[in-house]
Amino acid sequence: MAVLDDLSGFEFEDLMEDVFRNFGYENVRQAERTADEGRDVIMEEVVDGTRRAIIVECKHTGTVGRPVVQKLHSAIATFDFDGPKRGMVATTGRFTNPAEEYADRLQRNDDPYPIELIDGEDLREIADEIGLDLYNGRIEILCDETLRPYDPAADVDAPVQEAFRDIENIEAADLPVPHSQVTFRPVVAITADTNAVFETSVGVIHRINDRTQFVVHAERGHPKVADDEVATLVTENFHATVPLDTGQFTEVFADVDERRFGQTQTEYKEWAVDRLQDYHTTTVTYTGDNNVTYNKTCEPNLSDISVQSIEPVYLPEVRQTTEILEYSYPYEYYAAGPSRVTLEDGIHRCVHCETSGVDETYTYCPNCGAIACDTHIKTERLEGEPVCTGCAVTERFALKRKYFYDEENLGAFRKEYAEMPLHEKAMENKLLAGGSVVATLLLVVGLLVIGGII
């Protein structure tokens, strides 16, 4: 396999670890590189209900002879595992006839430690079978599955219509069609086990036995752990993925963009192991044999952390923008069919201040298209409909500020106001009118008291 020629031996071991993990083996991990003992990758399989260990020797050479297979056979026999064991030799090159004959004889004699041989041609077939691309000698994640970018049982703009239902003075049915775009963003769901024991002269002071599952935004060069909401969205909808067919989605969305993973499984695995090593590192306080208190930093070794699975999928990021008169309202979310996690809600946000969130009340202004909070929405005096403070024309009547759609409405009300009786004009400022009535009553009562009438 010419694509593998530039790899070091360690890089080839990384490659094989990824291959075996994707092929369905469990608990795939590498042996300590400082004490190889003839085994590079260790993993497990379950056959007929019985768990079996597999010890793998990786050889990045042109030819592998019989001594390598014999050495592995001895390594299998001494490997500490409570159950059946077998071996495997994987190479980028080929096996000599004596090596193949030795492995065949183990199989024919029902040896307790049989050995399977995998050459470069076998590796090509395995890579094709599990749908992985050998990229510069390593496995770049290629994925053709995505969570659903919209609910197939509803219109693609259904989330926007739902968001607008909370807005006063506008009907979702009257909304213009939003501009919809989708970006398919790569994520990986990682499952890893951490098993470590920390001992001193007084015995075990700390133990880690933990399975961690998390979702990672897998943009090239910028892996980042997803928050809980996004992780739940991904993991709960893994069973409902669909093929990533950009041609199909361009019939639904105006713009479609697909981001590549661009990195290898090994790179994501190494990043996850480093993160888990930091996460599980802790300082333990214990009392020694001399009754002295000690603090010890317990940091798991990289070999204590085993990545069980790296499952890639695309997470659709949908952005829908609704243009209404003078304003644009973005609504952005991660989608998984009818489920979603909102990233930006420009609908539940006052255009005139920083008030935002679905717990507030917002009203639509038909005069300019603004969505405003209670502080910035008024009642238009002539029509009796909402108008926002941003576009309204104002003038004082009976010392009370009144709001109008435009100068024409203001002019019409001036004429109406001029023809009003005095008491109706006064009622344009109910607070002032009510205060005047109270003051007059108090004055009359006072005069009656002074005159001795009451």
* pLDDT value at residue 249: 93
Name residue 411's amino acid: G
Where residue 2 falls among pLDDT bands split at 50, 70, 90? very low
Sign of CA dihedral 404, 406, 412, 418: positive
Where residue 136 falls among pLDDT bands split at 50, 70, 90? very low
Q: What is the mean pLDDT of residues 427-454?
A: 63
Q: What is the mean pLDDT of residues 6-19?
A: 78
Which tops the pLDDT comparison, 299 or 132? 299
Q: What's the pTM?
A: 0.70
Ranges 15-24, 50-59, 68-77, 314-323: which has the least confidence: 15-24
If you average pLDDT over each of 2-11, 385-394, 437-446, which comes out highest? 385-394
CB-CB contact of 332 with 352 (8 Å): no
Where residue 197 falls among pLDDT bands split at 50, 70, 90? very high
What would the pLDDT profile of 184-195 be if each residue is shown by its tens digit?
A: 999 999 999 999
Q: How far is CA 189 from the centre of its chain?
A: 9
Residue in this structure with the two tokens 């390598």, named with its chain if needed? 68
Q: What is the mean pLDDT of residues 419-444?
A: 70
* pLDDT value at residue 445: 60
Where residue 35 falls among pLDDT bands split at 50, 70, 90? very low
CB-CB contact of 388 with 372 (8 Å): yes
**Calpha distance 74→72 (Å, rounded):** 5
Instruction: State yes or no: pLDDT of 204 exceeds 90.
Output: yes
Mark out the alpha helices in 281-361 (DSSP H runs): none
What would the pLDDT profile of 58-106 be if each residue is shown by its tens digit?
A: 988 888 999 999 999 999 999 999 999 999 999 888 899 999 999 999 9
Q: Is 41 helix (H, G, I), strand (E, B) or coil?
A: strand
CB-CB contact of 141 with 17 (8 Å): no
Ranges 112-126, 127-141, 227-241, 246-260: which has the least confidence: 127-141
* pLDDT value at residue 6: 61
**Calpha distance 314→97 (Å, rounded):** 46
* pLDDT value at residue 23: 84
Phi, psi of 131 (to 5 degrees): 70, 35
Where residue 264 falls among pLDDT bands split at 50, 70, 90? confident
- Mean pLDDT of all residues belonging to the chain: 88
Q: What is the mean pLDDT of residues 211-219?
A: 92
Beta bridge partners of 182: 256, 318
Where residue 441 falls among pLDDT bands split at 50, 70, 90? low
* pLDDT value at residue 137: 46
Length of the chain, please?
A: 454
What would the pLDDT profile of 343-380 be if each residue is shown by its tens digit?
A: 999 999 999 998 999 999 999 999 999 999 999 999 99
